[in-house]
């Protein structure tokens, strides 16, 4: 990679930027020591995809490689530029208006970027500066300055600005070659970091969109059973809290929530005649009803976003003693999130009116949960559940 940049440098013979003093540079101007320094910066840049870290490493690396006093990076943002990083750090009284500025107020930077060539001002006192430029140079104590456009694949993404303070400085051919190599390196890293940020933002937005869809499904499922409106949301909240307190890793909690919201999605395929039957189910009807976790798995495992949320929908009717369905798993073979959810689900079912029976009282339902510890339910989950229910009562 580095060799490709270096080769590209060698091909450029147009090192002289109109109207400025800029020595020619060729491949031979980059020494072995320079190469080693560039590789070091390159490795440091490769360590992170955080745009702010990338820019900070870049300015610090640039000052070190070129043995100068200060460096800054501005990123292009339409017709504005944004100050991304500086070294040394900006003085405390650095005017806020210079952090994001109109590009037109920085004519030297504009010229460098337009030509896609470094532009060198040996002594800022000897040239005409705009008031914004004057302000920044004064605030940062800059004497000589080099503007190196950050160009990646033909796009100027920003500008690296190198400077001395309290001394003028004539840039050598070597410095120019180095600043070109550095700005090429930095431009690639900045672009990568930006792409990564965008990809992350897009992924977050996609997750948000999926989650809204899923909340909609969950609501639609509840509508089919008007008595239970609002219960699914409450059960999902409780499931996430209890799963967290019983040791489900933090990163898995969104899956717990999604699984809980969709726990009975498999009931979509259960005919109303069975689902809403006002009495006990026949053996044949039970066969159909017991299929609902399998339908859920078939459905969810096809959806990449939900495939890891399948544990609760698939295993919430397993029993601790191994007599549940669909797999007949026992004890800790049942995923923890499903062991947690089954207690919440049964409590909720018992305390709700069902077509086949009236709601039980809170006391009756809690007594049933307690009695089923170690039979239907994980005793540790029952204990956590009962403690929570005590807390809710007394609060
Ligand atoms: P559901 O009504 O949401 O009930 C979920 C779970 O809560 C049940 O899973 C069961 O473990 C517990 N549960 C609910 N009601 C009672 C009850 O009256 N007594 C006891 N001891 N436990 C109860 P299960 O048994 O696997 O049932 C799954 C689903 O099958 C139920 O979901 C419901 O939709 C349906 N179902 C169950 N029994 C009947 C019934 O007698 N008639 C009708 N029409 N549907 C039934
Ligand atoms: C400028 O204002 O154009 C550059 C000054 C700097 O930040 O080094
Ligand atoms: C609910 O009561 O919120 C739904 C639970 C279920 O249908 O199993
Ligand atoms: Fe169920």
**Ligand 1 atom at minimum distance from 376 CA:** 11
Write down the pLDDT at residue 28. 56
- Cα–Cα distance, 142 to 89 (Å, whole number): 13
- The residues near 24 (Cβ < 8 Å, ≥ 6 apart) are 13, 15, 16, 173
**Ligand 1 center to residue 219 CA distance, Å?**
20
Bridge partners of residue 260, in order along the sequence = none
349 touches ligand 3 (CB under 6 Å): yes
142 touches ligand 2 (CB under 6 Å): yes
Write down the pLDDT at residue 226. 59
Give the DSSP per-residue string, 263-329: TTGGGGGS-HHHHT-SSPPPHHHHHHHTTHHHHHHHHHHTSGGGGGG-HHHHHTT--TTS--SSS--
Q: Ligand 3, atom 7: nearest CA belongs to which residue?
A: 264
Peptide bond into 326 cis (omega under 30): yes
Write down the pLDDT at residue 341. 98
- Cα–Cα distance, 322 to 333 (Å, whole number): 9
Write down the pLDDT at residue 10. 40
Write down the pLDDT at residue 35. 83
232 touches ligand 3 (CB under 6 Å): yes
Write down the pLDDT at residue 228. 65
Closest C-alpha to 255, from 300, 216, 217, 221 = 300
34 touches ligand 3 (CB under 6 Å): no
**Ligand 3 atom at minimum distance from 232 CA:** 3
Bridge partners of residue 87, in order along the sequence = 71
Which of 354, 376, 377 maximizes ligand 1 atoms within 8 Å of its Cβ, making it the mutation to test the pocket? 354
Write down the pLDDT at residue 136. 93
**Ligand 1 center to residue 313 CA distance, Å?**
15
Write down the pLDDT at residue 378. 98
Write down the pLDDT at residue 172. 84
Write down the pLDDT at residue 395. 53
84 touches ligand 2 (CB under 6 Å): no
The per-residue pLDDT string of the chain (395 residues; one tens digit each, 9 = 90 and over) reads 444 444 444 434 344 343 454 555 555 567 777 888 888 899 999 889 999 999 999 999 999 999 999 999 999 999 999 999 999 999 888 888 899 999 999 999 999 999 999 999 999 999 999 999 999 999 999 999 999 999 999 999 999 999 999 899 988 888 888 899 999 999 999 999 999 999 999 999 989 998 998 998 888 888 877 566 788 999 999 999 999 999 999 999 999 999 999 999 999 889 999 999 999 999 999 999 999 999 999 999 988 888 889 999 999 999 999 999 999 999 999 999 999 999 999 999 999 999 899 999 999 999 999 999 999 999 999 999 999 998 777 65
Q: Ligand 1, atom 16: nearest CA belongs to which residue?
A: 350
Closest C-alpha to 391, from 232, 241, 230 = 241
């Amino acid at each position: 990679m580095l060799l490709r940049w270096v080769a590209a440098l060698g091909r450029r013979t147009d090192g002289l930027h109109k109207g400025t003093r800029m020595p020619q540079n060729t491949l031979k101007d980059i020494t072995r020591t320079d190469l080693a320094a560039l590789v070091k910066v390159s490795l440091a840049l490769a360590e992170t995809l955080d745009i702010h870290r990338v820019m900070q490493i870049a300015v610090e690396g640039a000052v070190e490689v070129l043995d100068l006093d200060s460096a800054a990076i501005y990123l292009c943002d339409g017709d504005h530029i944004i100050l991304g990083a500086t070294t040394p750090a900006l003085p405390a009284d650095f005017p806020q208006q210079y952090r994001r500025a109109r590009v037109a107020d920085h004519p030297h930077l504009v010229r460098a970027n337009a030509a896609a060539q470094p532009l060198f001002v040996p002594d800022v006192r000897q040239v005409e500066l705009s008031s914004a430029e004057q302000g920044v140079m004064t605030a940062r104590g800059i004497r000589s300055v080099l503007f190196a456009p950050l160009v990646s694949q033909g796009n100027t993404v920003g500008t690296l600005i190198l400077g001395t303070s309290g001394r003028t400085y004539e840039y050598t051919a070597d410095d120019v070659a180095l600043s070109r190599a550095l700005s090429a390196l930095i431009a690639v890293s900045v672009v990568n970091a930006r792409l990564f940020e965008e990809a992350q933002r897009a992924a977050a937005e996609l997750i948000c969109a999926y989650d809204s869809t899923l909340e909609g499904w969950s609501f639609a499922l509840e509508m089919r059973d008007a008595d239970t409106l609002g219960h699914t949301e409450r059960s999902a909240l409780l499931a996430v809290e209890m799963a967290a307190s019983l040791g489900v890793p933090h990163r898995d909690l969104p899956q717990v929530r999604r699984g809980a919201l969709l726990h009975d999605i498999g009931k979509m395929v259960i005919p109303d005649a069975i689902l809403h039957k006002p009495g006990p189910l026949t053996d044949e009807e039970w066969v159909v009803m017991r299929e609902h976790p399998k339908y859920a798995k078939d459905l969810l495992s096809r959806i990449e976003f939900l495939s890891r949320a399948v544990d609760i929908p698939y295993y919430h009717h397993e029993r601790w003693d191994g007599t549940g369905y669909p797999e007949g798993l026992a004890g800790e073979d049942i995923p923890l999130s499903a062991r947690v959810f089954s207690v919440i689900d049964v409590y909720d079912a018992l305390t709700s009116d069902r077509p086949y029976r009236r709601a039980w009282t809170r006391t009756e339902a809690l007594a049933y949960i307690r009695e089923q510890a170690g039979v239907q339910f994980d005793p540790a989950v029952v204990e956590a559940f009962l403690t929570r229910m005590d807390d809710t009562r007394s609060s």
